[in-house]
Amino acid sequence: MTFERMMRRRLIALFLFSVVLFSYPIMSLLPQEFLVFGFPLLYVYLFLLWTVLIVAIALISRAQSVK
């Protein structure tokens, strides 16, 4: 139960993070015309962050299932 509660707490924290990172004003701070290796920074930011979040969910819920 405690592991589960820990997992729930971490996922909620992750959710709150994602709310902040996926919305105004954080997103508006990205320099609009900037290119990373030729790609718009906005696209790189969103897809990279998305990937990181999925990995984080996987790690958090994996730690739970191992126990």
Per CB under 8 A, residues contacting other proteins are: 7-8, 11-12, 14-15, 18-19, 22-25, 27-28, 32-33, 35, 37-40, 42-43, 46-47, 50-51, 53-55, 57-58, 61, 64-65
As a whole number of angstroms, the distance between CA 37 and CA 10 comes to 34
Residue 61's alpha-carbon distances to 2, 3, 4, 19, 48, in angstroms, are: 14, 10, 9, 19, 20
Minimum distance from residue 8 beta carbon to other proteins (Å): 5
Minimum distance from residue 51 beta carbon to other proteins (Å): 7
